C-alpha cells in the first residue's frame, strides 16, 4: 500500500514525496536524522529522539524550521495516517536546496520529512542462536571530524565498516575509535558482561549515545546489576563472558563470536537474555 509521507508541513502521497537533486542532504550528506520504533501504535521514546535530532542539528549549525512540539505532533500524525501498529519512523532534516558548492548558508529552507513504515528486522532465530560479528578496520569518526555524537546523514564511514562485515558474511562489525578503544557497532551500541558486571563504552569513546543503550542501562540497574561506562579494548570483547548489541532496530541481541573467538559458551548468555526480555516488556508497556 502506498504510504503517506509527511513533507514540509503536510502529508503527501509517496509518489509525490520528492526532494530536489540540488538538496545538500543528497549532494553532501548535509543533514540529520532519527530512526524510531513504533510499538503497539506508541512512538517509542519520541521525546528522547526529538531531543537528539535537535542536538544533532545544532551541532552542525542546521536550524530545524519548526518547534519540537510541532515535529512531535507531525511524527504522531504520520504514524496514525499510515495505520502503523508496529513499525518504524524515519525523521529527516536536510540542509535544503542550494548551489553546487558546499556552502550550507546558501540553503535557505531546510527540508523536513517523515516516513512511517514497517521495519526490516533480524530473523527471530538470530536472537536465539546469537550473532557472529567482526572487528572493522574502518575507524569510527574522530571527534574533531563529523561529530560521532550527531546522527548526521553522512553515514559513509559506518557504511564502509558495514561492507567489511557483509564481505565477511556477518551482519555487524565493531568499530574502534582513533585510540583503539571500542566505539560502537555500525548501527548499534556495544555492551559486555564480565564476572556478572555490565560494561559499555562512555559516549566520548565515539559511539552515538543510543537511546536503546540508555534504556538498557536503566533496566539493568533496576535488576540490581552493576553497570559501568568504561573504555573497552578489542581484547576485552574477546575475553568477555557475554557480548551484546543494542539499537532501535536490533533492540538487544547477543553476540556469540567475534573475529573467530567464541564468546562464553557460544550461546547468548543469561544477562543478555534477561535484558532482552526486560527491554521487550518495557517497549510493550508492560513495565514502566
Ligand atoms: N550507533 C549508530 C551509529 C546508530 O546509527 C545506534 C548506535 C543505536 O542508537 P539507538 O538510539 O537507535 O538505540 C544507531 C542507531 C537501521 C537503523 O535501519 C539504525 C539505527 C537506528 C534505526 C535504524 O539500520 N541506528
Q: Are residues 139 and 231 in the same domain?
A: yes
Q: Whose CA is nearest to atom 3 of ligand 1?
A: 187
For residue 178, count CB atoms less than 10 angstroms from its CB and return exposed for 0-12, middle for 13-18, buried for 19 or more: middle
8 plus 76 within the same structural domain: yes
Q: Are residues 149 and 262 in the same domain?
A: yes
* Closest-lying ligand 1 atom to the alpha carbon of residue 120: 18
Tell me which H or E stretch contains 213. Answer: helix 211-222
Query: How far does residue 18's CA lie from ligand 1's centre (Å)?
Result: 24
Domain of 101? 4-117
Is residue 83 located within the same domain as residue 64? yes
Residue 74: CB partners within 8 Å, gap ≥ 6? Answer: 6, 66, 112, 114
109 and 206 share one domain: no
C-beta of residue 147 within 8 angstroms of C-beta of residue 157? no
Pick the atom of ligand 1 nearest to 184's CA.
1
State the Cα–Cα distance between residues 18 and 279, nearest whole angstrom.
36
Assigned domain for 9 exists: yes
Whether 203 is in the pocket of ligand 1, judged by its Cβ within 6 Å, is no
Is 58 domain-assigned?
A: yes
Spatial neighbors of 146 by CB under 8 A, at least 6 apart, are 152, 154, 157
Evaluate: CB of 140 within 6 angstroms of ligand 1: no
Instruction: Find out whether 271 and 219 touch, Cβ atoms under 8 Å.
Output: no
Ligand 1 and 158: CB distance under 6 A: yes
Residues 270 and 177 in one domain: yes
pLDDT, averaged per 10 consecutive residues of the chain (288 residues), comes to 93 96 98 97 96 98 98 97 96 97 97 94 94 98 96 98 98 98 98 98 97 98 98 98 97 98 97 98 80
| Predicted local confidence at residue 120, as pLDDT | 84
Catalytic residue annotation: 151
Q: Are residues 41 and 98 in the same domain?
A: yes
28: enclosing H helix or E strand: helix 24-28
Q: Give the total number of structural domains in the chain.
A: 2
Same domain, 254 and 141: yes
pLDDT of amino acid 287: 56
pLDDT of residue 13: 97
For residues 128 and 227, state if they share a domain: yes
Say which CATH number the domain at 181 has: 3.20.10.10
Q: Give, for 113, the enclosing helix (H) or strand (E).
A: strand 111-117
DSSP track, 225-271:
--EEE----HHHHHT-SEEEEEETTTEEEEEEEETTEEPTTSS--HH
Domain membership flag for residue 288: no
Q: Ligand 1 in contact with 35 (CB < 6 A)?
A: yes
Our mutation pick for probing the ligand 1 site, out of 146, 210, 247, counting the most ligand atoms within 8 A of Cβ, is 247
Final residue of a domain: which of 89, 117, 145? 117
**So what's the pLDDT on residue 119?**
87
Question: Are both 221 and 128 inside the same structural domain?
Answer: yes
Task: Indicate whether 91 belongs to any domain.
Answer: yes
pTM: 0.96
Amino acid at each position: 500500500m502506498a504510504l503517506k509521507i509527511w513533507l514540509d508541513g503536510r502529508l503527501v502521497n509517496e509518489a509525490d514525496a520528492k526532494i530536489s537533486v540540488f538538496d545538500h542532504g543528497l549532494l553532501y550528506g548535509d543533514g540529520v536524522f532519527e530512526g524510531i520504533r513504533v510499538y503497539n501504535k506508541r512512538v517509542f521514546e519520541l521525546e528522547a529522539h526529538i531531543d537528539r535530532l535537535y542536538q544533532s542539528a545544532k551541532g552542525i549549525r542546521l536550524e530545524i524550521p519548526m518547534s519540537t512540539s510541532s515535529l512531535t505532533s507531525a511524527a504522531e500524525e504520520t504514524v496514525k495516517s499510515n495505520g502503523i501498529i508496529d513499525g518504524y519512523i524515519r525523521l529527516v532534516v536536510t540542509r535544503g536546496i542550494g548551489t553546487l558548492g558546499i556552502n550550507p548558508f546558501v540553503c535557505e529552507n531546510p527540508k523536513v520529512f517523515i516516513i512511517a513504515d514497517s521495519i526490516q528486522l533480524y530473523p527471530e532465530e538470530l536472537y536465539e542462536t546469537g550473532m557472529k560479528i567482526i572487528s572493522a578496520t574502518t575507524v569510527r569518526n574522530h571527534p574533531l571530524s563529523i561529530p560521532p555524537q550527531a546522527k548526521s546523514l553522512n553515514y559513509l564511514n559506518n557504511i564502509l565498516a558495514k561492507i567489511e562485515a557483509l564481505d565477511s558474511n556477518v551482519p555487524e562489525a565493531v568499530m574502534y575509535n582513533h585510540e583503539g578503544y571500542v566505539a560502537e557497532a555500525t548501527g548499534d551500541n556495544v555492551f559486555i558482561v564480565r564476572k556478572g558486571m555490565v560494561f559499555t563504552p562512555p559516549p566520548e569513546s565515539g559511539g552515538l549515545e543510543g537511546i536503546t543503550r540508555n534504556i538498557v542501562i536503566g533496566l539493568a540497574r533496576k535488576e540490581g546489576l552493576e553497570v559501568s561506562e568504561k573504555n573497552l579494548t578489542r581484547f576485552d570483547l574477546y575475553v568477555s563472558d557475554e557480548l551484546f548489541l543494542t539499537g532501535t532496530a536490533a533492540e538487544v541481541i547477543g553476540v556469540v563470536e567475534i573475529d573467530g573467538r567464541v564468546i562464553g559458551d557460544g550461546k547468548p548468555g543469561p544477562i543478555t537474555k534477561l535484558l532482552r526480555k526486560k527491554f521487550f516488556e518495557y517497549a510493550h508497556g508492560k513495565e514502566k
